């Protein structure tokens, strides 16, 4: 039996008084496209950020590609890993943010080549060739030398996706990738994500785009108040939800 790419076991996280994650457990399989849906504050973004350790968990464990994240076990206790080790673990994931977070002082091409050349120490010309290929893949080959301020929101987000892919991650994390976009620009980003899903990339997508979920997701997970309420095939969760809370959420959203 193959192992899950991501194994989340009994993870909890609080921000002061507020409990964002309550004892969450979940598996993500290689090649799977998973969509996480739910209201704001439901914990879906927090869960995503725990996987690439932008947020540290309070309890439980997350394994990525079989490796325990953020800590190591020794003598019955957990010891935090060093900053370098955590950085290395982060290389296995790529993240696309709601507000793109492109580096404004670098061109689109430079944004993409920054990680591979600086962090992975790869050769500049090799990286440049790959970066141009990625730009072509997201439909922005002509914008290689443009600065983020010269690009539309949709174009920026596509560059951001290329930037994440340049690190050759095994898992792509999307945190509400189209929420900050004007409606007419959402389609171009979803198109890139669909192509990525088709190519076999494992993806976890926090989104409100239920149409996208229905079309592309292998599994939909509905979260509410820090816990997983319901999960299953898109057609099941979105078309015929079992739980009352799921039904209430969907009727409010659609």
Partner 1 sequence: MKPAPALAEGFPDLSGMRIAREPHWFRWLSAALIVLVLAAIARAFANGQIEWSYVGRFLTVKVILEGTVNTMVMAVLAMMLGIFLGIVVAIMRLSPNPVLKSVAAGYTWLFRGTPLILQLLLWFNLALVFPTIGIPGLWSARAVDVMTPFLAALLGLGINQGAYTSEVMRAGMLSVDVGQYEAAQAIGMGRLRALRRIVLPQAMRVVIPPLGNEFIGMVKATSLASVIQYPELLHNAENIYYANSRVIELLIVAGLWYLLVVSILTPLQMLLERRFARGTLRPAR
Q: Which residues bind partner 1 (CB under 8 A)?
A: 52, 54, 83-84, 87-88, 90-91, 93-95, 97, 99, 101-106, 114-115, 118-120, 147-152, 163-164, 167
Q: In whole angstroms, how close is the CB of 76 to partner 1 at the nearest point? A: 26
Q: In whole angstroms, how close is the CB of 183 to partner 1 at the nearest point? A: 17
Nearer to partner 1, 104 or 211 (CB): 104
Q: In whole angstroms, how close is the CB of 124 to partner 1 at the nearest point? A: 15
Q: In whole angstroms, how close is the CB of 37 to partner 1 at the nearest point? A: 22
Nearer to partner 1, 12 or 85 (CB): 85
Q: In whole angstroms, how close is the CB of 167 to partner 1 at the nearest point? A: 6
Nearer to partner 1, 189 or 220 (CB): 189
Burial class (CB in 10 A: 0-12, 13-18, 19+), 131: buried
Nearer to partner 1, 68 or 91 (CB): 91
- Strands in 93-96's sheet, in edge-to-edge order, are 93-96, 171-175, 202-206, 33-37, 219-224, 227-232
Q: How many residues does the chain have?
A: 254
- Angle at the Cα of 144 (from 202 to 196), degrees rounded to 5? 15
SS3 (DSSP) at 239: helix
Residue pair 79/72 in contact (Cβ under 8 Å)? The answer is: yes
Nearer to partner 1, 54 or 132 (CB): 54
Nearer to partner 1, 164 or 213 (CB): 164
Q: In whole angstroms, how close is the CB of 148 to partner 1 at the nearest point? A: 7
- Specify the residue for token string 């057609």: 235
Separation of alpha carbons 168 and 27, rounded Å: 22
Residue pair 177/138 in contact (Cβ under 8 Å)? The answer is: no
Residue pair 251/65 in contact (Cβ under 8 Å)? The answer is: no
């Amino acid at each position: 039996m193959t192992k899950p790419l991501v194994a989340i076991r009994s993870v909890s996280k609080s921000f002061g008084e507020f409990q964002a994650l309550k004892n969450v457990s979940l598996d993500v399989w290689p090649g799977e496209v998973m969509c996480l849906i739910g209201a704001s504050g439901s914990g879906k973004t927090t869960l995503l950020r725990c996987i690439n350790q932008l947020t540290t968990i309070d309890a439980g464990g997350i394994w990525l590609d079989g490796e325990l994240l953020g800590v190591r076990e020794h003598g019955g206790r957990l010891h935090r890993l060093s900053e370098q080790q955590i950085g290395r673990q982060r290389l296995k994931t790529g993240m696309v943010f709601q507000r793109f977070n492109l580096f404004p002082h670098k061109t689109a091409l430079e944004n993409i080549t920054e990680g591979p050349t600086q962090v992975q120490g790869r050769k500049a010309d090799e990286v440049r060739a790959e970066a141009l290929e990625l730009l072509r893949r997201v439909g922005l080959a002509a914008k290689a030398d443009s600065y983020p301020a010269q690009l539309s929101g949709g174009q920026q987000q596509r560059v951001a996706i290329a930037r994440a892919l340049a690190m050759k991650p095994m898992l792509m994390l999307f945190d509400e990738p189209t929420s900050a976009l004007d409606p007419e620009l959402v389609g171009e980003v979803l198109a890139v994500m669909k192509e990525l899903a088709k190519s076999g990339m494992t993806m976890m997508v926090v989104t409100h785009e239920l149409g996208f979920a229905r079309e592309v997701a292998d599994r939909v997970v509905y979260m509410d108040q820090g816990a997983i309420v319901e999960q299953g095939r898109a057609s099941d969760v979105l078309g015929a939800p079992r739980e009352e809370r799921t039904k209430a959420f969907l009727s409010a959203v659609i």
